[in-house]
Chain A
Amino acid sequence: MKLLYFAWLRTKTGIAQEEVAPPAEVRDVASLIAWLQTRGPNFADALKNPQVVRVAVNQEYARPDHPLSAGDEVALFPPVTGG
């Protein structure tokens, strides 16, 4: 699974993109975030308030119950501020 981080999710985690193989209990967006929170203090800090984190799966917005599979591209980012 490919993970991408943007804006302050990138600066707080210190990672722009990475390949991960999450454990079997990671089946949807919510469980992915719960697992990421356990990966260290920088992840715990970046994801301490999941309500302000937007998630896209394969470049489409996804809700917490959106299912995930191994080949997905998952992006985590704050609410957008373009325009």
Chain B
Amino acid sequence: MVVRVQREDFDVGEELARLSEGNHGIGGVTSFVGLVRDIAGRQGASAMTLEHYPGMTERQLEEIEAEAHRRWPLQASLIVHRFGRLKPGDRIVLVATASAHREAAFESCHFLIDWLKTRAPFWKLEETPDGSHWVESKDSDDIAAERWKKARS
């Protein structure tokens, strides 16, 4: 289980190679990469700044990851989340899970990104031509996370 919160970009290929390196019990790796969209709710966002709560962020991500390991038979997992100023097309987040079989890898990766979106303390400040705006949370994210409560617990 690895959690990293960083300002720098990451290389998806390197991260995935390192995740499964030397572990031949892994039969499949699923990954999700989140990117900055150029229109995220408002027209013409030129950049955004991701603020977070150092300390709580890492703690929440570690808890979410531990929960995934309780629910699925995972061999390895990784969450990398960036903060600071990002532009459209930039990578924001990488979630990856590795298991003996694909089903556990797919499901747990989906679970991790859904839970991360509703629990990890990050906030997006979008820059637009008419000023900066805090992005509002989406009900659809809550509904996506809620699904995992009903499915197993």
Contact = CB atoms under 8 A, between A and B. Distances in A.
B113 A7 contact: no
A81 B56 contact: no
Interface in B105-145: 113, 116-125, 134-137, 141
Interface in A35-83: 56, 59-61, 75, 77-83
A59 B117 contact: no
Interface size class of B (residues with CB under 8 A): 20 to 34
A62 B133 CA distance: 26
A80 B122 contact: yes
Given A77-B121, A80-B119, A7 B56 contact: no
Given A6-B51, A6-B123, A80 B117 contact: yes
B22 to A, nearest CB: 29
Nearest to A59: B56
Interface of B: 34, 50-53, 55-56, 59-60, 81, 92-93, 113, 116-125, 134-137, 141
